[in-house]
A and B are shown apart, each in its own frame.
Chain A
Amino acid sequence: MTPIVRAEALRHVYSAGTPFEKVAIDGIDLSLTAGQLVGVIGHTGSGKSTFIQHLNGLLKPTSGAVYFEEQDIHRSKEATRDVRFSVGLVFQYPEYQLFEETVYKDIAFGPKNMKLSESEVDARVKEAAHFVGLPDELMELSPLELSGGQKRRIAIAGVIAMRPKVLILDEPTAGLDPGGCRDILQNILDYRSETGSAVLIVTHNMDDAARIADRLVVFNHGHIAFDGTPEAVFSHTKELMDIGLDVPQSARIAQALRERGVALPDSIYTPDQLFAAVQALRKGAGAC
């Protein structure tokens, strides 16, 4: 399958030529195909946020290139701007960027910038509001009056309303209660399954990553440390913990058991797998 977005030998240096010079990412090669749900993990300062801002052309690589549908996104100013509509980026704590008088107008900001017709804008706003589960009666309220979770949904709807072919979210669940987290992740999954878009989620929550992603990319010091299925990535439990990352609780328990001499397979990262593996062991022990 041809990739929808492809980063090639991406390198970005902040404040080049000053005492504050810092290589944020170096030698990043990554491609996304439609329908993929990719989880990006890595500790603070590992380059994840820098990386995602390259995908929609907000940052220009120091060297290397980003291709959207096989065309360089920096070939012209207009192209870069158009790519932002196709590669939707939801920043961390996006509720702080709401500015319009009403929820409706705020969600319509993106589609309006795309110069769509009024009826098309209206259709997209309603569709986006539906995706994130915003009831109609909220649409005419001021976004600033609503709760944190609702604001977050409005902000996400504001990006979804552009119908991006790639949806990137930087820690969409940070600071939300467990119920809110679940809802938002479900909204994102729905968006993916209904539109077939590629979704990329930056997260610190390994359990979420293990549960929803079908591919995981691990960033460490500006490089990609691991890239593969959750099963493959979480089989490196020890390495992940060595670079200061968490692993899903189940993987952690399995690792602790392994260290105590319990013979468990490497590929455990969900509660179900752990349960099955432990049961299999007990059955084996019982047979002896």
Chain B
Amino acid sequence: MLKDITLGQFFPGDSIAHRLDARCKLLLVVVYIAALFTAKGVVGYGLVILATVAMVAVSRIPPKALFRGLKPVVVIIVFTAVLNMFFTTGTPLVKLGPVTITQEGLIRAGAMVLRIMLLICGTFLLTYTTSPIALTDGMERLFNPLKKIKVPVHEMSMMMSMALRFIPTLIEETDKIMSAQKARGADFETGNLFQRAKALLPLLVPLFVSAFRRADDLAIAMESRCYHGGDGRTRMKQLKWKTRDTIAMLLGLALLAAVIGLRRFGL
């Protein structure tokens, strides 16, 4: 069950998508989301879907992995779909007692589901093709101008990279503790809500203890190597903006422009 969480997982590879500059990919995701939310008509959505498929193809990430990433949000998707389906006014199609399904509602629900799925696919492509370190590095560089107004950009990106780094570790740890408690007869799967919440205690206490222990160890390890923050630190891997990044960026902007243009014509 816990293995389904793919948040922040990186698929090592050597495709063009992997080699693009992290900053470029981050900006592209922003542009992509903008395009996705501007799209209105069938043609607009079609274009965004086409772009997504093209990106997946270029990144050589198995589509199966992307669908696996969608699993944890199925509830949200279904919830949105149902809400939109029943609570949109318009031409009624079906009447089921007090609720009516309208034509507009159906269309809107479909569009919403499509939108969430594409949104997740797009952002997952980013985390799948970019290592957490490159990702936070790129973020730090993008937000660098904010340092002028005393925003602790380096500290924030450091915190993020640590959080990302520890997600798989904590998942693994959770699995391990769960097995250990199950071996002593703990039951995480049956009972009512209250019983289940109580059953989580033997899992959560050791997990917190070990998270604090890890944090302590990490702090000591960093201090013993004289870590003191961002000033004057050099990087092992320099981010370099290359021609391919410019091209990718231009393609992204072209997509956004096209979607905006199509929206004008109601497509």
B62, B64, B183, B203: which contacts A88 (Cβ < 8 A)? B183
Q: Check: A94 CB closer than 8 A to any chain B CB.
A: yes
- Docked Cα-Cα span, A58 to B184, in Å, equals 11
A53, A89, A98, A113: which contacts B186 (Cβ < 8 A)? A113
Number of interface residues of B (CB under 8 A): 22
Q: Check: B201 CB closer than 8 A to any chain A CB.
A: yes
* Residues in B whose Cβ lies below 8 Å from that of A99: 201-203, 205-206, 209
A18, A96, A144, A162: which contacts B184 (Cβ < 8 A)? A162
- Docked Cα-Cα span, A81 to B187, in Å, equals 9
Within 8 A of A (CB), among B174-206: 176-177, 179-187, 201-203, 205-206
| A89 and B177 contact, CB distance less than 8 A | no
Q: Check: B169 CB closer than 8 A to any chain A CB.
A: no
Number of interface residues of A (CB under 8 A): 26
Contact code string A166-186 (vs B, CB < 8 Å = 1, else 0): 000000000000000000000
* Residues in B whose Cβ lies below 8 Å from that of A113: 184-187
- Docked Cα-Cα span, A81 to B185, in Å, equals 7
Say what secondary structure dominates the interface of chain B.
Answer: helix
> Shortest CB–CB separation between residue B184 and chain A, in angstroms?
4
CB-nearest residue of chain A to B186: A113
Q: Check: A91 CB closer than 8 A to any chain B CB.
A: yes
* Residues in B whose Cβ lies below 8 Å from that of A263: none
Given contacts A109-B184, A114-B185, A96 and B62 within 8 Å (CB-CB)? no
CB-nearest residue of chain A to B62: A19
CB-nearest residue of chain A to B185: A113
Within 8 A of A (CB), among B198-240: 201-203, 205-206, 209-210
| A96 and B183 contact, CB distance less than 8 A | no
| A162 and B185 contact, CB distance less than 8 A | yes
CB-nearest residue of chain B to A144: B209
B62, B64, B184: which contacts A84 (Cβ < 8 A)? B184
Contact code string B64-79 (vs A, CB < 8 Å = 1, else 0): 1100000000000000
> Shortest CB–CB separation between residue B131 and chain A, in angstroms?
17
CB-nearest residue of chain A to B189: A77
Within 8 A of B (CB), among A5-55: 15, 18-19, 53
Q: Check: A97 CB closer than 8 A to any chain B CB.
A: yes
- Docked Cα-Cα span, A245 to B246, in Å, equals 53
Given contacts A18-B64, A91-B176, A159 and B183 within 8 Å (CB-CB)? yes
| A159 and B184 contact, CB distance less than 8 A | yes
Q: Check: B95 CB closer than 8 A to any chain A CB.
A: no
Tell me which of B3, B65, B184, B206 has the highest count of chain A C-beta atoms within 10 A of its own C-beta: B184
> Shortest CB–CB separation between residue A146 and chain B, in angstroms?
13
- Docked Cα-Cα span, A90 to B202, in Å, equals 16
Tell me which of B64, B182, B186 has the highest count of chain A C-beta atoms within 10 A of its own C-beta: B182
B residues adjacent to A (C-beta < 8 A): 3, 62, 64-65, 176-177, 179-187, 201-203, 205-206, 209-210
A residues adjacent to B (C-beta < 8 A): 15, 18-19, 53, 56, 58, 81, 84-85, 88-91, 94, 96-99, 109-110, 113-114, 144, 158-159, 162
The 9 closest A-B pairs by CB, nearest first: A113-B185, A99-B205, A110-B184, A97-B180, A89-B183, A91-B180, A99-B202, A99-B206, A97-B206
